[in-house]
A and B are shown apart, each in its own frame.
Chain A
Amino acid sequence: MQFPGRRKKLIGSSQNDLYDHCLQFYGQPPLENISLTEFETFAVERLKLLKTVENLGVSCVKNSEQYTKKLDAEISSLNFPQKAELSEQKVQGGISEYEKRRKDHISHFILRLAYCQTEDLRRWFIQQEMDLFRYRFNDLHSKHKTDFLHKNNLKYETVSAEEKKSLQDKLIASSYGLSGTKVEEHDVYKVPFQDALDLVRTRKVYLLAGNAYIPHHEIVTIVLNDFRTRLSKALAMTARSLPAVQSDERLQPLLSHLSHAYVGQDYSIQKNIGKISLEQIDALSGKSFPLCMRHLHKALRENHHLRHGGRMQYGLFLKGIGLSLEQALQFWRSEFVKGKVDADKFDKAYAYSVRHMFGKEGKRTDYTPYSCMKVILSNPPSQGDYHGCPFRHSDPELLKQKLQNYKVSPSGTNQILELVKGMHYQLACQKYFELTHNVEDAGFSLNHPNQYFTESQKLLSGGRDIKKEVDMSQRSQENPASVTRPSQANSKQAHEEMGDLDSFFQDE
Chain B
Amino acid sequence: MMPTSDYDPACLPDLLPLYYRRLFPFSQYYRWLSYGGVSKNYFQNREFSFTLKDDIYVRYQSFTTQNELEKEMQKMVPYKIDIGAVYSHRPSQHNAVKSGTFQALEKELVFDIDMTDYDDVRRCCSAADICSKCWTLMTIAIRILDRALREDFGFHHLLWVYSGRRGVHCWVCDDAARKLSVAARSAVAEYLSLIKGGEETVRKVVLSDPIHPFINHSLSVVERYFCQYAIVEQDILGSKESVDKVLALLPEDILSFPVVLSQYHIKKGGQYFDKEIMLQYCYPRLDVNVSKGVNHLLKSPFSIHPKTGRISVPIDLKELNTFDPFEVPTISLICEELERPRADEAEDDDVKDKENEQEAGERHYKRTSLAKYVKVFDRFLEAMARSRKGEMLQKSDLQKDF
Contacts and interface: CB of A to CB of B under 8 A. Distances in A.
Contacts of A174: 210, 212-213
A211 B181 CA distance: 17
A197 B151 contact: no
Contacts, number: 51
A193 B153 contact: yes
Interface residues of B, number: 21
A200 B214 CA distance: 11
A383 interface: no
A207 B214 contact: yes
Contacts of A200: 187-188, 191
A141 interface: no
B299 to A, nearest CB: 27
Given A207-B152, A210-B154, A194 B213 contact: no
A203 interface: yes
Given A173-B213, A194-B180, A197-B183, A208 B191 contact: no
Interface of A: 170, 172-174, 193-194, 197-198, 200-203, 206-211
A202 B151 CA distance: 18
24 contacts: A170-B213, A173-B210, A173-B213, A193-B153, A193-B154, A194-B176, A194-B181, A194-B184, A197-B184, A197-B187, A198-B187, A201-B186, A201-B191, A202-B190, A203-B191, A206-B213, A207-B152, A207-B153, A207-B191, A209-B152, A210-B152, A210-B154, A210-B155, A210-B176
A446 to B, nearest CB: 38
Contacts of B213: 170, 173-174, 206
A209 B154 CA distance: 4
Contacts of A208: 151-152, 154
Contacts of B152: 207-210
Interface string B10-53: 00000000000000000000000000000000000000000000
A201 B182 CA distance: 12
Contact of B154 (A198, A202, A211): A211
A201 B190 contact: yes
Interface in B119-176: 151-155, 176
Contacts of B184: 193-194, 197
B260 interface: no
Interface in B37-88: none
B83 to A, nearest CB: 23
B211 interface: yes
Contact of B151 (A193, A194, A209): A209
Contacts of A172: 210
Nearest to B216: A173
A170 B176 CA distance: 25
A173 B212 contact: yes
Nearest to A170: B213
A202 to B, nearest CB: 8
Nearest to A193: B153
6 tightest A-B contacts by CB? A210-B154, A201-B187, A207-B152, A209-B154, A197-B187, A173-B210
A193 B184 CA distance: 9
A172 B153 CA distance: 19
A34 to B, nearest CB: 40
A193 B190 CA distance: 13
A202 B187 CA distance: 8
Given A201-B187, A207-B152, A207-B191, 5 more contacts: A174-B212, A174-B213, A206-B213, A210-B154, A210-B176
Nearest to A209: B154
A206 B191 CA distance: 11
B212 A203 contact: yes
Contacts of A173: 210-213, 216
A210 B188 CA distance: 11
A208 B147 CA distance: 11
A270 to B, nearest CB: 55
A170 B155 CA distance: 20
Contacts of B153: 193, 207, 210
* Residue of A193, A198, A206, A211 ringed by the most chain B CB atoms within 10 A: A193
Given A197-B184, A197-B187, A203 B214 contact: yes
Interface string B79-109: 0000000000000000000000000000000
A207 B151 CA distance: 8
Nearest to A174: B212
A39 B213 CA distance: 54
A201 B216 CA distance: 17
A208 B150 CA distance: 9
Contacts of B187: 197-198, 200-201
B152 to A, nearest CB: 4
Interface string B327-361: 00000000000000000000000000000000000
A188 to B, nearest CB: 15
A241 B113 CA distance: 50
A200 B181 CA distance: 14
A157 to B, nearest CB: 15
A200 B213 CA distance: 13
Nearest to A204: B212
Contacts of B155: 210
Contacts of B216: 173
* Residue of B186, B210, B211 ringed by the most chain A CB atoms within 10 A: B210
Interface in B188-204: 188, 190-191
A39 to B, nearest CB: 39
Contacts of B181: 194
A174 to B, nearest CB: 5
A394 B187 CA distance: 35
A199 to B, nearest CB: 9
Nearest to B211: A173
B214 to A, nearest CB: 6
A207 B184 CA distance: 14
B154 to A, nearest CB: 3
A190 B211 CA distance: 21
Nearest to B190: A201
A97 B187 CA distance: 43
Contacts of A193: 153-154, 184
Nearest to A169: B213
A210 B151 CA distance: 8
* Residue of A172, A173, A198, A206 ringed by the most chain B CB atoms within 10 A: A173
A220 B369 CA distance: 56
A423 B224 CA distance: 50
